[in-house]
Structure 1
Amino acid sequence: MTGASTPPEPQVTPERQAAHEAAVETALARLDLDTKTRLLAGQDFWSLPAIPEIGLDSLVVSDGPIGVRGVRSTSEDPSLALPSPTALGATWSPEIAVRAGQVLAQEARRKGVHVLLAPTVNLHRSPLGGRHFEAYSEDPYLTGAIGTGYVRGVQSGGVGTTTKHFVGNDAETDRFTVDNRIAPRPLRELYLAPFEAIVAHARPWGIMTAYNTVNGTTMTAHHHLVNEILRGEWGFDGVNVSDWTAARDTVADANGGLDLAMPGPKTVYGENLAAAVRAGDVEESVVDAAVRRVLLLAARTGALKTTEPVVPAAALPAEIDGEAFARELATRSFVLVRNDVREGAPALPLAPGTRVALSGAAAREARVLGGGSATVFPAHVVAPLDGLRAALPEGTLSYEVGADPNNELDVAGQGFALRAVCRDEAGEILASVPLAGGHIQWMGSDLPDGVTYDTLHSIEVTGTFTPRESGEHVFGTRGIGGFKVVIAGRELFEGSVEMGAATDPFEAFFGQPTERGRLELTADEPVELSVFHTVAKPEGLPIQAVGFTVLHQNPVHDPDELIARAAEAARGAETAVVVVATTERVESEGFDRADLQLPGRQDDLVRAVAAANPRTVVVVNAGSPVEMPWRDDVAAVLLSWFPGQEGGAALADVLTGAAEPGGRLPTTWPAVLEDAPVVNTTPTDGKLEYTEGVLIGYRAWEQAGRTPAYPFGHGLGYTDWTYESVTVEPAAEDGLTVTVRVRNSGSRAGRETVQVYLAPAEPGTTPGTERPARWLAGFAQVEAAPGESAEAVVRVARRAFEIWDEARDAWRLVPGDYGVEAGRSVRDLRVAAAVRKG
């Protein structure tokens, strides 16, 4: 098996490139200044204006690292929901990332989308990063390899990508204003490295610049990083689009290399850019260069009709069954970090016919995706309870709630049948559309047919709610504007909510969850519901959007009683399975985490169940690390990330042994937050100092001599592997070929992820040359039947031996002796060889 750089790369042939460039020049010559600047501004939230006279269709973009929203992020047009990016990172498989990209490309084509706003390749610098579920790893090499596969897959399907967020958007606190102070060496070796790898090996058609500032210059206007490094040094020829509302300065952004200021119609480009050109503040040649890149993107995706796209219809990849792939990807991503032998056998996989006691609210209502711009609306979701019911023999599965992480109001979902009725100021109905849940988030073309932002005055969410349990139900709202809440004929609230002083306009717009009233309801008896919302349209918001949420909380039961019932059920079963989870209030876009603790009484639930049954398996439904104080007291711990819409079916596959848990940790999991060497995400006086330099993730753990709960690269399968040998040979361009021979020494077929690290004999002590104890240099996956051996062939590039020399402003190979170490994780290295460089 070969290493991480082998997935087939979609090629823009020289002939196709020449044809595109000719078509672009012909189109550009026919445009006047006002039309050119209008093309760079976006006509609405998700698209650019069409220019029929040059054969240009409206170029459509869409959010979605794990799915494709389309131009309407509503339940009317469901989207396939794949597992989270941390799950994709956990596969350690660029090949499966290619297939994920191909699946998303076919989804994009189905929804009329030309460009996907993904992937996110920022790093897990601190475990407190609230949006880490949307990024792959703490390691730049692994991130670049997975991102390269993803981009190749999407673009092989004729759909563009925008690798993001360039650069330094590694946390969410004050993301619009923070100045991340990153020295040149860590900037090059860590944070820019995934972008550089993707530009070199996948040639993305777009890149998205971040909200934040780096070293005093906002990224949308960062001439050095965009024009000199990204375009000049790396040769990137694609479009540079701002993160949404990030562009703030017409002249600085244009001269700094920003092509597209999104979303429209209100941006710093358009007529503002035309005026800047006429005033002499921006050269028209700068505008022309940006328009060329936009037209080239249109040509590549087929939106410029005067030339053939990169991938004609006849050359598109074969269709992939999206639901089957989502299930496979989830199983390949699950990381089994603990699997003790109890009563003579490993806890997992479950023996046929095992009586299972399942508990945890997240088993019934799994969180399958992260919050924020990664949200899509799948046609269905398979929760763990659903998956296990389908997989286990009748009568062998019981279920208790045990503990609910949602100890507060949550989006109205289970039991609600809702519609949104849109009206104008006179009360006339403009549209009536179904809702999958109580959350409305309409931006630009998301608005229902027949509704415009200007004409929309009110939205009534109406329908029924059928409780699944009796007791006191709590109802609430989130958002600004007027609200009138009527449940079962009773008015619970009428009033208005003003926008607060939040610095993030998205957070300010959607507001805080607020209770509006309580009602005693009876299980299985439906009641009528009406939440009438008068739309707020505050001045100064950079977007035209409508958003609010209908919230609900089930009756709160005695938590001790719930835990006791789950423990009693576990006592009577052969195996207990507990599903614990984070919530959208813990992990989401727009804020960082305060701690790594599981919300609610979930830790107490695990302790009680483990005390009742020694064969307790805990499934952790979280997008990034959480503390697990009970981890040594349970038989098995399985990390399922945010597993996508087929997550419950995939979980059943892994628990029963129909599939092997294929994942390895893409980021280090601390035992407690205090152990983590790099934590801070909060700026001081507007600045966040990256004082740790090149030592983040496992590099920092190794340097500090600390032991995490589970190290980078760790993961167990259902078989054992013996590492027999490693050989090292010189390769082209001063690299290495590392061949690692392994043998499946277990009792069933399996897949192994062979990891290769470099360890310098002299880590470096002089300023500017300090290096980690070791770092990931390559990896490969092999498969073998019991008793069979296999060879993993890993290509190690010269760059793995280089550092960024700040004095020379260049890469420099560090000569000396290196250990070439191979194994199962950064802390489980089985074989080693020596090599001398320089």
Structure 2
Amino acid sequence: MDKIDSLIKELTLEEKVSILSGSDSWHTSAVERISIPRIKMTDGPNGARGDGVSKVSSACYPNGSALASTWNTELIEELGKSLGKEAKTKDADVLLGPTINIHRHPLGGRHFECYSEDPYLTGLIAVAYVKGVQSEGVAACIKHFVGNDTEYQRHTVSSNIKPRPLREIYLLPFEMGVKQGGALGVMSAYNQLNNIYCSSSEELLINILKEEWNFPGYVVSDWGAALQTIENANGGLDCEMPGPAKTWGENLVKAVKDKKVKEEIVDDKVKRILRIAEFTGRLDKPDEKPEESINLQEDRILIREVASQSMVLLKNENILPFQESKIKKIAVIGPNAKIGQFIGGGSATVKPHYVVHPLEGLTENLKDKVMVEYAKGCHTYKYLPQIESDQISCPKSKRQGFLVDFYKGEDFSGEVLKSSVMRGGRFWALTGFGIDLAMKMESPSLSVRFTSILKPKITGSHEFELVSIGPARLKIDGKMIVDNWSSQDPGDAFFSYGSAPRRSSIDLKADKEYLLEVEYKWQGRFPAVQIGMLPPDEEDLTEQAISLAKDSDAVVILVGTNSDWETEGNDRSELGLPGEQDALIHQVVKANPNSVVVINTGSPVSMPWLKEAKSILQCWFPGQEFGNALYDILFGKTNPSGKLPTTFPKRLEDTPAFTHYPGEDLQMDYLEDIFVGYRWYEKEEIKPLFSFGYGLSYTTFEYSSLRIIPPKQEDSAIAFSFSVTNTGKISGKEIVQCYVSVPNSKVIRASKELKRFSKVDLKAGESKEIIFELNERDLSYWNEKEGNWFIEPAEYKISVGGSSDKTPIEASAWLG
């Protein structure tokens, strides 16, 4: 009998059940009597945040769509190793990532966090990520299993997917993550799959995951997704999070005693959780360590490289690369220039060690060589920005920030339990706000007062805003300015638990001191309050930008979204850039055609200025080295090599799920079937803005000599070779892509499907021969009648090229 079996044998039923639910937001429960430790989880996937209470910083990596844009599995595995080490600095056993849901719809709130519209690309990136993380003795948890492809009503909506698209599109990345990557954690999604909650789906969690795929690890609920005591237990869920126990605990003990759940089912769950503790070494070394902030040079270099390789050059009419010797003055314009979006919103958020924003990165790298000047151009606020720290100070200590007093009870009449000075504008229990006090109280009853001296920089009308979970109100000199206390409207902040923004304006004078107070009643599972203020602009932002553009030799226009627009908890409402950014681009490129538009988003946007802009770069959310990586690309220190992992549509109406997304009456039918992404555009003969797999370089490549060859691998069905040549004057990396089609198939199939790819580094004039081999599974489809994979005796056409719509060389092979 091994150690885990011996430990389980010693446990009482109550102790076994206790292990299956969290002890707090991030730990499972320990059984100290026989030295069973807690295991700790930390949010990913583009950093290891830790518990949020320690407030220590973390390395911040590029987002999911950026990672997939590298198409570089070796690089992603290195990133995974770095993430594994980072998770260890937070004393974590499990990293909650990667996120491998499919880019089904471009407005999906977590589009930025996921990899691709293609299951094969998603799967291989996931495999590399998982292998890297787990090589450091940290378990990776792939999520969200499965069909979590919208944030709209995500806790209750049913993703209704037929067996074939479920297997071929949505389950495939998870299958690859488990079987090829060896992932030891799977997170069950909030949503229902075909009207059964994913955390209760025996077909999904037991029949497919644990039995068919031989998954040895544990299934943890998404936070708050465990809702059904008996169904969750019998359906295959292993761990209820967060803690303390709500659905299980004494409810599950009773269910076992009532013979509604077998005790051996509980034993299996305990075994799976203890396997994680064994894998990470926690079982032998149970001592918990404080979280650390370790800012490594090797991480900084890696993150800069990944960010550079992820950026996709979409258009370039002899604008890039800029040459420092030919530019005296460069304008950096746009709402994402001074403060760029380096990370998406929600559970992907981390507190970074530092961030090099675009303006800073360009200024520092061009120091003493090129003059850099900045203009914002326009605002893009979904929520008003936090008050600038140099305008507010603690009334007592005069330190920048708010004096925050936590009172016992909800009416500010009780004793002050804690006072501290806090900076920022977003205060949320999920990221540590007040959680130390709340955890000490069985049923938290708190009220919170934020107090500061506000000293405006400019005279005029100042607009204030509150967003909160629970009642909040804002006063200036004792007068209520914003009332979100007496009533609230539902909104989509804080994972859609927050209120809609409440705003009001007041005239303030520059350099005059005002007493600013915000009172908040602590409510909800993860209480939160957000405080914003928008002062008047000193001058017309657009005119300032146009004037600067005219007076500069070159222009970088930084446009995009932020973590209010692209976030877990709600979908975007439209494909266009928020605010007046489209108008800004029109006017700036007209004023100075020597401009590059840099799109700082995690997902596709429309581009009504496409014909006018001579150069366009998609930079995604590139992590803490944003500005340095951007400099590398714009000035030719790195040759662009990223390619799109998702199709950019011209119009929302062209997208595969447009007519039925996000569904009605909590029913989201996947009527596009297997035709997701480029499969749909090819089938419907719709020309997108930019195709899947597309991306330019500062050099050019040519494909030739495709031929079918005898397979060398034992399980190969088809093998082929071809040559790719760098026909330009500088070194570059080309992502060669292989697509397969079955022209005369007896079943409905996509006109092409990605089956192999490789990132090839070529010097100027260099050629390389590439050999790919395909096995029967690569060529199979899911036979719904047989409930299995099936390969047709047929002609299989191989197409190779640099994007889904440009595959210049083709060959055919017959099977059967």
Paired with 2:615 and 2:455, the residues of 1 have a C-alpha distance of 37
Give the direction of change, closer, same or farther, for the CA distance of 1:465–1:27 in structure 2 (3 Å limit): farther
After superposing the two structures, state which structure 1 stretch, 739-748 or 589-598, moved more: 739-748
Paired with 1:448 and 1:227, the residues of 2 have a C-alpha distance of 35
Residue equivalent to 2:372? 397
Query: Is residue 357–residue 398 contact of structure 1 (8 Å, CA) maintained in 2?
Result: yes
After superposing the two structures, state which structure 1 stretch, 629-638 or 677-686, moved more: 677-686
Paired with 2:809 and 2:561, the residues of 1 have a C-alpha distance of 38
Q: Is 1:141 aligned to 2:123, yes or no?
A: no
After superposing the two structures, state which structure 1 stretch, 798-807 or 389-398, moved more: 389-398
Tell me the SS of whatever aligns to 2:708: strand
Give, as a single letter, the amino acid of the residue that structure 2 aligns with 1:389.
Answer: T
Paired with 2:213 and 2:424, the residues of 1 have a C-alpha distance of 45
Q: Is 1:520 aligned to 2:498, yes or no?
A: no
Q: Is 1:387 aligned to 2:361, yes or no?
A: yes
Tell me the SS of whatever aligns to 2:808: strand
Give the alignment partner of residue 814 of structure 1, picking from 792, 795, 807. 792
Residue equivalent to 2:737? 755
Give the direction of change, closer, same or farther, for the CA distance of 1:211–1:643 in structure 2 (3 Å limit): same
Paired with 1:111 and 1:32, the residues of 2 have a C-alpha distance of 31
Give the alignment partner of residue 721 of structure 2, picking from 730, 739, 750. 739
Paired with 2:587 and 2:523, the residues of 1 have a C-alpha distance of 50
Residue equivalent to 2:425? 438
Q: Is 1:778 aligned to 2:766, yes or no?
A: no
Give the alignment partner of residue 721 of structure 1, picking from 693, 701, 706. 701
Residue equivalent to 2:465? 476
Give, as a single letter, the amino acid of the residue that structure 1 aligns with 2:781.
Answer: I
Give the direction of change, closer, same or farther, for the CA distance of 1:350–1:138 in structure 2 (3 Å limit): farther
What are the within-5 Å matches in structure 2 for residues 371-382 of structure 1?
371-382=345-356
Structural RMSD (CA): 2.6
Give the direction of change, closer, same or farther, for the CA distance of 1:623–1:488 in structure 2 (3 Å limit): farther
Give, as a single letter, the amino acid of the residue that structure 2 aligns with 1:518.
Answer: I
Tell me the SS of whatever aligns to 1:275: helix
Paired with 2:810 and 2:430, the residues of 1 have a C-alpha distance of 55
Residue equivalent to 1:370? 344
Paired with 2:600 and 2:649, the residues of 1 have a C-alpha distance of 16
Give 4+ residue runs of structure 1 displaced > 6 Å after superposition: none
- Matched positions, count: 791
- 1:744-783 per-residue CA deviation (whole Å, 9 max, x = no partner) reads 2212111111111112222x3x5xx201111100101111
Residue equivalent to 1:35? 15
Residue equivalent to 1:311? none
Give the alignment partner of residue 410 of structure 1, picking from 368, 382, 385. 385
Give the direction of change, closer, same or farther, for the CA distance of 1:291–1:797 in structure 2 (3 Å limit): same
Paired with 1:511 and 1:267, the residues of 2 have a C-alpha distance of 25
User: Please, which runs of 5 or more residues in structure 2 have no aligned partner?
Assistant: 288-294, 393-399
Per the TM alignment, residue 726 of structure 1 is displaced from its structure 2 partner at its CA by 2.7
Q: Is 1:633 aligned to 2:612, yes or no?
A: yes
Per the TM alignment, residue 23 of structure 1 is displaced from its structure 2 partner at its CA by 1.4
User: Please, which runs of 5 or more residues in structure 1 have no aligned partner?
Assistant: 1-20, 309-317
Per the TM alignment, residue 795 of structure 1 is displaced from its structure 2 partner at its CA by 4.1
- 1:683-718 per-residue CA deviation (whole Å, 9 max, x = no partner) reads 222211111111010000000001111000001122
After superposing the two structures, state which structure 1 stretch, 401-410 or 96-105, moved more: 401-410
Per the TM alignment, residue 131 of structure 1 is displaced from its structure 2 partner at its CA by 1.2
Query: Is residue 422–residue 460 contact of structure 1 (8 Å, CA) maintained in 2?
Result: yes
Residue equivalent to 1:580? 559
Query: Is residue 69–residue 79 contact of structure 1 (8 Å, CA) maintained in 2?
Result: yes
Q: Is 1:691 aligned to 2:671, yes or no?
A: yes
Give, as a single letter, the amino acid of the residue that structure 1 aligns with 2:151.
Answer: E
Paired with 1:528 and 1:660, the residues of 2 have a C-alpha distance of 52
Give the direction of change, closer, same or farther, for the CA distance of 1:494–1:568 in structure 2 (3 Å limit): closer
Give the direction of change, closer, same or farther, for the CA distance of 1:497–1:301 in structure 2 (3 Å limit): farther
Query: Is residue 348–residue 636 contact of structure 1 (8 Å, CA) maintained in 2?
Result: no
Tell me the percent identity: 36
- 1:534-564 per-residue CA deviation (whole Å, 9 max, x = no partner) reads 33335xxxx3x22111112242577xx4323
Tell me the SS of whatever aligns to 1:388: helix
- 1:12-51 per-residue CA deviation (whole Å, 9 max, x = no partner) reads xxxxxxxxx8111111111100011111011111111122
Give the direction of change, closer, same or farther, for the CA distance of 1:94–1:413 in structure 2 (3 Å limit): farther
- 1:358-379 per-residue CA deviation (whole Å, 9 max, x = no partner) reads 2112101111111111111113
Give, as a single letter, the amino acid of the residue that structure 1 aligns with 2:701.
Answer: W
Tell me the SS of whatever aligns to 1:835: strand
What are the within-5 Å matches in structure 2 for residues 585-624 of structure 1?
585-624=564-603
Q: Is 1:708 aligned to 2:688, yes or no?
A: yes
Paired with 2:298 and 2:738, the residues of 1 have a C-alpha distance of 34
Paired with 1:468 and 1:105, the residues of 2 have a C-alpha distance of 45
Give the direction of change, closer, same or farther, for the CA distance of 1:527–1:772 in structure 2 (3 Å limit): farther
Give the alignment partner of residue 64 of structure 1, picking from 27, 38, 44. 44
Per the TM alignment, residue 140 of structure 1 is displaced from its structure 2 partner at its CA by 0.1
Per the TM alignment, residue 812 of structure 1 is displaced from its structure 2 partner at its CA by 0.2
Paired with 2:131 and 2:48, the residues of 1 have a C-alpha distance of 17
Residue equivalent to 1:252? 231
Residue equivalent to 2:474? 485
- 1:83-138 per-residue CA deviation (whole Å, 9 max, x = no partner) reads 11111111111112212222221221111111111111100111121210110000
Give, as a single letter, the amino acid of the residue that structure 2 aligns with 1:323.
Answer: R
Residue equivalent to 1:827? 805
Per the TM alignment, residue 481 of structure 1 is displaced from its structure 2 partner at its CA by 3.6
Give, as a single letter, the amino acid of the residue that structure 2 aligns with 1:348.
Answer: P
Give the direction of change, closer, same or farther, for the CA distance of 1:657–1:432 in structure 2 (3 Å limit): farther
Give, as a single letter, the amino acid of the residue that structure 1 aligns with 2:90.
Answer: K
Paired with 2:779 and 2:320, the residues of 1 have a C-alpha distance of 42
Residue equivalent to 2:446? 457
Query: Is residue 120–residue 164 contact of structure 1 (8 Å, CA) maintained in 2?
Result: yes
Per the TM alignment, residue 507 of structure 1 is displaced from its structure 2 partner at its CA by 4.3
Residue equivalent to 1:234? 213
Query: Is residue 80–residue 379 contact of structure 1 (8 Å, CA) maintained in 2?
Result: yes
Paired with 1:230 and 1:498, the residues of 2 have a C-alpha distance of 46
Tell me the SS of whatever aligns to 1:829: coil
Give the direction of change, closer, same or farther, for the CA distance of 1:110–1:433 in structure 2 (3 Å limit): farther
- 1:287-316 per-residue CA deviation (whole Å, 9 max, x = no partner) reads 1111110111111112212799xxxxxxxx
Give the alignment partner of residue 537 of structure 1, picking from 492, 500, 523. 523
Give the direction of change, closer, same or farther, for the CA distance of 1:793–1:586 in structure 2 (3 Å limit): same
Give the direction of change, closer, same or farther, for the CA distance of 1:306–1:83 in structure 2 (3 Å limit): closer
Query: Is residue 468–residue 530 contact of structure 2 (8 Å, CA) maintained in 1?
Result: yes
Residue equivalent to 1:25? 5
Query: Is residue 91–residue 333 contact of structure 1 (8 Å, CA) maintained in 2?
Result: yes
What are the within-5 Å matches in structure 2 for residues 125-204 of structure 1?
125-204=104-183
Give the direction of change, closer, same or farther, for the CA distance of 1:307–1:384 in structure 2 (3 Å limit): closer
Paired with 1:757 and 1:835, the residues of 2 have a C-alpha distance of 13
Paired with 1:521 and 1:365, the residues of 2 have a C-alpha distance of 27
Query: Is residue 610–residue 616 contact of structure 1 (8 Å, CA) maintained in 2?
Result: yes
Query: Is residue 363–residue 385 contact of structure 1 (8 Å, CA) maintained in 2?
Result: yes
Query: Is residue 633–residue 640 contact of structure 2 (8 Å, CA) maintained in 1?
Result: yes
Per the TM alignment, residue 725 of structure 1 is displaced from its structure 2 partner at its CA by 2.6
Tell me the SS of whatever aligns to 2:401: strand
Per the TM alignment, residue 412 of structure 1 is displaced from its structure 2 partner at its CA by 4.2
Residue equivalent to 1:555? 536
Query: Is residue 349–residue 654 contact of structure 1 (8 Å, CA) maintained in 2?
Result: no
